[in-house]
């Protein structure tokens, strides 16, 4: 909160009510030798000095034009989102164990869950996870528990899933006997190669389907979902929530829809913030509800017939389940969820669709401008959302460094995770990019390549 309005008279009155002489007396249980200061922590500063210090530190962050994407996106965030989110009622709130203590906070989470269930076309949403990558790991654990028809701990993992997600998920499930079996992508389209789907896969717990995938390409989700269900496997959808405003929701994929949906919530009103904090979302079918990890807020009716909100189905490790809990997620990213709930409420369905449409149009325009340069070409054909892979005639690392010197964050270099693509960049343009921004990037790239 930006301002604490308590006067000394207010403070003295509060201390008198609780029966202590000073604020220091509230901390008398802390040994005196620990109250003398901590090595390496500077003395407190006044308001003017703190403001100057934070302005200097903020100035270190570049104001470059961002065309990176790759899981974190530079979307416009209406001023009202964080103006409301950082009010004291939300900023300091924590999902309580005694639900009646914070009905407002729980109602907000309930509204968030309702919005996410609607956006993904699923029946249930939890109150969020740490981030999109760990949400995928938890989804894999959940799929193994929830698939009653399978005794397998095998999960088919396309290489078109974000490499960071794959590595994080492997860390989460690797010591639990669960294996990720890779599925290759078609070098012509950048989507899952139907030929890499085994004709006789045997007992498989789940298939992961990204939409859009890491390359921005659109997978044939209906065919993949039906194939997985025909094999007795569950479907884990990893989706971009902005794209869900214009693409078919996972709940409607194929004949039966996806079983579990997860992803990164950052596009919904969360700033890039030098890498976080962000949050992961997870939704599922009602039939899998009891295997859903994390917090869940439900609406009930009290003795007087009024709506009330409460945490429910808390089979978590610090309650009764211990090692048999559905997960070790100990909290939700409540403040980020607050921002996303306000963001979605402000924009509504039409606003989200407009953001998605504008981002897609800007990316198409960017790709057209860049591929008009000699030696620059799309790596894949086919449909894509607001990201695309471009091949360059020069080393991508050198190009990115030269663009950065010109104030442009030109994209994500793919050589580390996809060396077979050569000198390739993943580029993205959101609704924030103007025509002048696109022209500036094209001119800078032309200069660098020349």
3-state secondary structure string, 27-38?
Answer: HCCCCHHHCCCC
DSSP state of 26: G
Q: What is the DSSP letter of 129?
A: B
Q: How many H helices and E strands in the chain? A: 11, 15
316, HSE (Cβ side, Cα atoms, 13 Å): 15
Q: Which of 33-42, 173-182, 256-265 is predicted most confidently?
A: 256-265
CATH architecture of 82-342: 3-Layer(aba) Sandwich (3.40)
Residues 61-93: tens digit of each pLDDT: 778 999 999 999 999 999 999 999 998 888 876
pLDDT of residue 342 exceeding 50, the answer is yes
Q: Which tokens is 362 given?
A: 């800007």
Task: Please state the pTM of the whole predicted model.
Answer: 0.88
Q: Residue 320 has what pLDDT?
A: 60
Q: Please give the helix or strand (H or E) that residue 166 lies within, else none.
A: helix 163-173
**Confidence category of residue 166, pLDDT binned at 50, 70, 90:** very high
CB neighbours of 241 closer than 8 A, spacing ≥ 6? Answer: 116, 119, 120, 263, 264, 265, 267, 268, 281
d(C-alpha 402, C-alpha 398), whole Å: 6
Domain with CATH 3.90.1150.10 in the chain: 66-73+348-449
Domain span(s) for CATH 3.40.640.10 in the chain? 82-342
pLDDT score at 1:
47
Choose the CATH number for 66-73+348-449 among 3.90.1150.10, 3.30.379.10, 3.40.50.300, 3.40.50.360. Answer: 3.90.1150.10
Greatest Cα pair distance, the chain, in angstroms, is 78
What's the confidence (pLDDT) of residue 2? 59
Give the pLDDT of residue 94.
67
Q: What's the token pair of residue 133?
A: 């990558």
């Amino acid at each position: 909160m930006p301002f604490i309005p308590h006067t000394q008279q207010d403070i003295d009155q509060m201390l008198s009510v609780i029966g202590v002489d000073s604020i220091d007396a509230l901390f008398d249980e802390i040994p005196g030798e620990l109250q003398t200061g901590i090595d390496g922590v500077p003395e407190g500063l006044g308001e003017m000095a703190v403001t100057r210090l934070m302005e200097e530190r903020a100035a270190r962050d570049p104001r470059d034009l961002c065309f990176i994407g790759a899981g974190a996106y530079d979307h416009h965030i209406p001023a009202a989102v964080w103006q409301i989110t950082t009010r004291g009622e939300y900023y300091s709130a924590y999902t309580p164990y005694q639900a009646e203590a914070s009905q407002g906070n729980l109602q907000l989470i309930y509204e968030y869950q309702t919005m996410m269930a609607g956006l993904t076309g699923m029946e249930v949403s939890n109150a969020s996870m740490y981030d999109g990558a760990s949400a995928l790991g938890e989804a894999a654990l959940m799929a193994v528990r929830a698939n009653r028809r399978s005794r397998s701990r095998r999960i088919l993992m396309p290489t078109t899933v974000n490499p960071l997600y794959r590595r994080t998920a492997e860390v989460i499930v690797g010591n639990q006997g669960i294996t990720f079996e890779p599925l290759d992508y078609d070098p012509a389209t950048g989507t899952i190669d139907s030929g890499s789907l085994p004709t006789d896969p045997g007992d498989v717990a789940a298939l992961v389907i990204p939409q859009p995938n890491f390359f921005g390409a659109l997978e044939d989700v209906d065919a993949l979902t039906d194939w997985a269900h025909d094999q007795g496997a569950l479907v884990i959808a990893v989706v971009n929530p902005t794209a869900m405003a214009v693409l078919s929701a996972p709940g409607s994929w194929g004949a039966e829809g996806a079983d579990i949906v997860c992803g990164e919530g950052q596009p919904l009103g969360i700033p890039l913030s030098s890498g976080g904090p962000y949050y992961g979302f997870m939704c599922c079918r009602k039939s899998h509800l009891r295997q859903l990890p994390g917090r869940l807020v439900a609406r009930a009716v009290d003795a007087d017939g009024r709506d009330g909100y409460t945490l429910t189905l808390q089979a978590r490790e610090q309650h009764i389940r211990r090692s048999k809990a559905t997960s070790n997620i100990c909290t939700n990213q409540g403040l980020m969820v607050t921002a996303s709930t306000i963001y979605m409420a402000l924009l509504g369905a039409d606003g989200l669709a407009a953001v998605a449409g504008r981002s897609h149009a800007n990316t198409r325009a960017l790709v057209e401008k860049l591929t008009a340069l000699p030696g620059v070409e799309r790596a894949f054909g086919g449909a894509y959302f607001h990201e695309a892979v471009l091949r360059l005639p020069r080393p991508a690392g050198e190009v990115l460094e030269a663009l950065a010197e010109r104030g442009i964050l030109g994209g994500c270099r793919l050589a580390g995770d996809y060396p077979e693509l050569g000198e390739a960049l993943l580029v993205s343009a959101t609704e924030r990019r103007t025509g002048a921004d696109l022209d500036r990037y094209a001119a800078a790239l032309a200069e660098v390549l020349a």
